[in-house]
């Protein structure tokens, strides 16, 4: 396992505040059968779960894996899940684009979204015949909450004739009003594609102001955007990067494009969660810092034992609502089903399909760093 050096205060991760007997409370026990079935899994999380804690967790893991078989279910785990969820019960792991592709492809009957609500909606939009469950209905997103379908209709009235691109971090209602979706993996590709297809020099890109600013710095297409922010990434600043570099000379700084542009100006590389993970795997830097959600460092560190990680810990309160306990409960009771009205689903699907039809990139691309701040219109 890689060495992880905390930078700044370390908040308590909900998984670490797990109730004393989560398995027993659900009638599950650490029997010889459970032990035999889960012993091989322990090394995957031995840096995050102590041997003392394992007997409390293993029955939940076994219970989830048994229920998955019974229900023909898969767990789609976003890169921001805690390592127990990500490594022990996730059948597919990745960024929002990879999880959307997986939701469209899977043969399973049930999808459990170990992520946030907009991701579960995306799965339902792409796989209407499947049952999509979210372990906690409160797992939202500040970007998705920043804009409504009615807002988009007003924007279209005031900017008619321009294509509307929406980040996948939005509700189905918002997607239904847009021409195409994008993720942080393909935002520049999508913006340039629609500008060319529509024969225009400007595009509306909603709702993340910082992602839009960072996209604008990477293209000649002019961008009109909204004032949404990710409550996790907006906390990072260029000053943070300078402090990290002072404390850790030689550290390689990687940032997510939902961070403010002054962070990308100071970073060595920027990209989606998968692009950051790919960078670490390919380049094996001696010491690295990931300016994104806290758990991501743990998940990437587990796969890159030779790399040292400096870890500033900004938690996404929505992602952190998902736990082994509520994944088990969701599968046991088939609860918190996510549905999307059919008329909305069909229109939202057209926007997602337009994105998925674009050529798949061999490696997740990076954003330009040290770029000048791009000008754009924020509504």
Neighbours of 287 (CB within 10 A): 16
Distance CA 102, CA 78 (A): 12
Among 93, 113, 166, 183, binds ligand 13P (CB under 6 A): 183
Phi, psi of 86 (to 5 degrees): -60, -45
Q: Is 117 in the site for ligand SF4 (CB under 6 A)?
A: no
Name which of 42 and 92 has its Cβ closer to ligand SF4: 92
CA-to-CA dists, residue 204 to 209, 221, 317, angstroms: 11, 10, 29
User: Given the complex with ligand SF4, which of 78 and 124 has the nearer CB atom?
Assistant: 78
- DSSP 8-state symbol, 232: T
Two tokens, residue 167: 């980040």
Element (H, E) at 69: helix 54-71
Please say whether the beta carbons of 321 and 138 come within 8 A: yes
Tokens of 267: 């970073």
Q: Is 230 an interacting residue with respect to ligand 13P (CB under 6 A)?
A: yes
Tokens of 327: 């994944």
Residue 208 DSSP class: B
Residue 273's binding partner, choosing from ligand 13P, ligand SF4, none, with beta-carbon cut-off 5 to 8 A by kind?
A: ligand 13P
Q: Any contact of residue 230 with ligand SF4 (CB under 6 A)?
A: yes
For position 318 contacting ligand SF4 by CB under 6 A, the verdict is yes
Residue 169 sits in the site that holds ligand 13P (CB under 6 A): yes
Question: Contacts with ligand SF4: how many residues (CB under 6 A)?
Answer: 13
Strand partners for 167: 182
Distance CA 176, CA 351 (A): 7
Given 316, 322, 338, 352, the residue binding ligand SF4 (CB under 6 A): 316
Question: CB of 328: closest distance to ligand SF4 in angstroms?
Answer: 22
Residue 96 touches ligand 13P, criterion: CB under 6 A = yes
Cα–Cα dist 126/354, whole Å: 12
> Among residues 272, 295, 314, 326, which is the contact residue for ligand 13P, using CB under 6 A?
272
- Select from ligand SF4, ligand 13P, none the partner in contact with residue 255, using the beta carbon and a kind-dependent cut-off of 5 to 8 Å: none
Q: Which stretch binds ligand 13P (CB under 6 A): 18-26, 30-38, 91-99, 279-287?
A: 91-99
Q: Which residues pair with 314 in a beta bridge?
A: 293
8 Å CB contact between 208 and 182: no
Nearest approach, Cβ of 291 to ligand 13P (angstroms)? 11
**Of residues 134, 232, 251, 263, which one binds ligand SF4 by CB under 6 A?**
232
**Residues between 255 and 274 with contacts to ligand SF4, criterion CB under 6 A:** 258
Our finding on whether 294 is near ligand SF4 (CB under 6 A) is: no
Among 47, 231, 262, 337, binds ligand SF4 (CB under 6 A): 231
Positions in 323-362 near ligand 13P (CB under 6 A): none
What residues form DSSP beta bridges with 5? 310
| CB atoms near residue 310 (< 10 Å) | 22
* Residue 336 Ramachandran class (φ > 0 left, ψ -120 to 50 alpha, else beta): left
Tokens 């804009």 sit at which residue? 147
- Does 320 participate in binding ligand SF4 (rule CB under 6 A)? no
The piece of 85-93, 95-103, 262-270, 346-354 that touches ligand 13P (CB under 6 A) is 95-103
Name the residue nearer to ligand SF4 (CB basis): 14 or 128.
14
Could you tell me where the DSSP H helices lie in 137-179?
A: 149-158, 172-176
Interface residue list for ligand 13P (CB under 6 A): 79, 95-97, 169, 183-184, 230, 258, 272-273
Residue numbers at the binding site for ligand SF4 (CB under 6 A):
116, 141-143, 169, 230-232, 258, 293, 316, 318-319
């Amino acid at each position: 396992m890689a060495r992880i050096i905390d930078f700044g205060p370390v908040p308590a991760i909900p998984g670490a505040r797990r109730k004393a007997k989560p398995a027993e409370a659900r009638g599950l026990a650490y029997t010889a059968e459970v032990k035999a079935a889960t012993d091989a899994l322990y090394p995957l999380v031995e840096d995050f779960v102590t041997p003392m804690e394992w007997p409390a967790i293993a029955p939940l893991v076994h219970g989830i894996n048994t229920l998955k078989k019974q229900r023909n279910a898969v767990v789609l785990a976003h890169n921001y899940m805690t390592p127990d969820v990500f490594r022990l019960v996730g059948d597919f792991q990745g960024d929002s684009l990879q999880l959307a592709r997986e939701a469209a492809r899977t043969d399973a009957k049930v999808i459990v979204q170990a992520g946030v609500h907009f991701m579960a909606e995306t799965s339902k939009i792409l796989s209407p015949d499947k049952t999509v469950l979210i372990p906690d209905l409160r797992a939202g997103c500040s970007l998705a909450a920043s804009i409504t379908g009615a807002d988009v209709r007003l924007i279209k009235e005031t900017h008619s004739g321009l294509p509307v691109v929406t980040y996948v971090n939005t509700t189905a209602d918002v997607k239904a009003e847009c021409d195409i979706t994008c993720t942080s993996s393909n935002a520049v590709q999508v913006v340039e594609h629609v500008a060319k297809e529509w024969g225009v020099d400007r595009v509306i890109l909603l709702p993340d102001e910082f992602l839009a600013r960072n996209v604008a710095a990477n293209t000649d297409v002019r961008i009109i955007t909204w004032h949404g922010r990710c409550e996790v990434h907006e906390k990072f600043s260029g000053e943070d990067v300078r402090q990290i570099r002072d404390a850790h000379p030689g550290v390689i700084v990687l940032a997510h494009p939902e961070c403010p542009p002054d962070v990308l100006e100071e970073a060595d590389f920027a990209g989606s969660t998968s692009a950051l993970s790919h960078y670490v795997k390919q380049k094996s830097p001696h010491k690295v810092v990931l300016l994104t959600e806290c758990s991501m460092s743990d998940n990437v560190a587990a796969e890159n034992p030779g790399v040292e990680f400096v870890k500033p810990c900004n938690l996404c309160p929505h992602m952190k609502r998902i736990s082994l306990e509520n994944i088990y409960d969701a599968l046991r009771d088939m609860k918190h089903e996510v549905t999307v009205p059919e008329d909305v689903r069909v229109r939202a699907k057209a926007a997602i399909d337009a994105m998925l039809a674009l050529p798949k990139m061999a490696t997740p691309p990076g954003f330009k760093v040290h770029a000048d701040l791009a000008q754009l219109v924020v509504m």
